[in-house]
Amino acid sequence: MTYAPLLRVDHLAKRFPMRKGLLRRGAPSFLHAVDDVNLTIGAGECVGLVGESGCGKSTLVRVLARLLDATDGVIDFDGENLATVPAGRFAGHPRRRELQVVFQDPTESLNPRYTGFDCIAEPLRLLAGITEAGELARRVEEAATEVGLPLALLGRYPHQLSGGQKARVNIARAVAVRPRLMILDEPTAALDVSVQAIVLDLLADLRQRHGLSYLFVSHDLNVVRLMCDRVMVMYLGRIVESGPAAEVFANPAHPYTRLLVDALPRLGVPAPPVELPAGEPGSPIDPDPQQCRYASRCPKAHSKCSEISPSLTSAGTAREVACHFPLTMA
């Protein structure tokens, strides 16, 4: 299936300056949290983002959602470069309604002094400009019904709701304003396994009903395989592989994706012994621009990998990999 592009990101980078110690002098140091990322998300498409803790997923999300300023690059959202809008000004930007983020922990995202009703009404008031009481109540109830939140719970405060119910309020806040792109940063990580499945089902249903686009960040490869059309694999700030989710997981081209897939537990098969990669994971602080970020851990590393950093290049239909020696794809 092909999708008309909605979001196109070019050469996006986010570097955090490192504070220097008292005795350290010389050139300033930077932590390269997101480095030269290119991606597209089509209208109605669900794209997954996976990678180990600290690889830069949430930083990318925060830059795309304009909560953080980019150091470099373009964030083209339906023809408009949002990277030029300062993060502090985005709250009042007309595109803010169209691009919604759902974070991992609903408890942290919801104001403890707001009832469920107030939580959902707030973005409707601020982003959709709905202030008339009757219309506001109608839209809040419509959103609650959409996410399966009983209307009787709308008067409760977050501490009076279960984790699953808080997750529904959080999702209702985002869908109430009728966005086009939802960025979901580990939306079910804080939930019980049984509730996770229900919330994933709800997200899949909302996407289909409204033709929403998702950027879906998760640690869980199985969830990504189930939910996403395409997946991007991130390692130390860079996208190292992308392609159709089912194909990438069945036949990884990058040695790092292979490692992630091999670590997946499989039903009915005893867990394989965990083989830790030989080298150090590498540091995001002032990384060598000439070197592949994965070289220190890679079983296939060759001298070329320390001399030329591989960029993401085509590896068959709809697939890309950043590796000088990609694994052969069956």
Ligand X SMILES: Nc1ncnc2c1ncn2[C@@H]1O[C@H](COP(=O)(O)OP(=O)(O)OP(=O)(O)O)[C@@H](O)[C@H]1O
Where does this chain bind ligand X (CB under 6 A)?
16, 31, 33, 51, 53-59, 284
Using DSSP, state whether 262 is helix, strand or coil: helix
Looking up tokens 């806040």 gives 173
User: Do the beta carbons of residue 160 and residue 180 sit within 8 Å?
Assistant: no
Contact 272, 266 (CB under 8 A): no
The listed partner (ligand X, Mg ion, none) that binds 123, CB under 5 to 8 Å by sort, is none
- Residue closest to 259 by CA, chosen among 238, 283, 233: 233
The end-to-end CA distance of the chain, in Å, is 22
Choose among Mg ion, ligand X, none what residue 59 binds, the Cβ cut-off being 5 to 8 Å by kind: ligand X
**101 or 161, CB closer to Mg ion?**
101
Answer whether 248's CB lies under 8 Å from 242's CB. yes
- Strands 5-17 and 30-42, by their bridges, are antiparallel
Minimum CB–partner distance for residue 293 and ligand X (Å): 13
Spatial contact of 124 and 130, defined as CB atoms under 8 Å apart: yes
> 259-280: string of b/e by CB count within 10 Å (b at 16+)?
bbbeeeeeeeeeeeeeeeeeee
Minimum CB distance to ligand X smaller for 56 or for 252: 56
Which does residue 54 touch among ligand X, Mg ion, none (CB within 5 to 8 A, set by kind)?
A: ligand X
Decide whether 60 or 83 has the Cβ nearer to ligand X: 60
Cα distance between residue 293 and residue 201, in whole Å: 36
To the nearest whole angstrom, how small is the minimum distance from the Cβ of residue 86 to ligand X? 16
> Residue 91: exposed, middle, or buried by beta-carbon count in 10 A (0-12, 13-18, 19+)?
exposed
Q: Which C-beta is closer to ligand X: that of 33 or that of 253?
A: 33
Q: Compare residues 51 and 158 and give the one whose CB is closer to ligand X.
A: 51
Residue nearest Mg ion, CB atom distance: 58
Please report how close the Cβ of residue 266 comes to Mg ion at its closest, in angstroms.
26
Residue 215 CB, shortest distance to Mg ion, in Å, is 13
Element (H, E) at 170: helix 163-176
Task: State the binding partner of 252 from Mg ion, ligand X, none, CB within 5 to 8 A by kind.
Answer: none
Minimum separation from the CB atom of position 211 to ligand X (A): 28
From Mg ion, ligand X, none, which one binds at residue 284 (CB under 5 to 8 Å depending on kind)? ligand X
Site residues (vs Mg ion, CB under 5 A): 57-58
117's tokens? 């009703």
Nearer to Mg ion, 36 or 185 (CB): 185
Task: Provide the minimum distance between the beta carbon of 190 and ligand X in the complex, in angstroms, as a whole number.
Answer: 12
Q: Which does 328 bind (CB under 5 to 8 A by kind): Mg ion, ligand X, none?
A: none
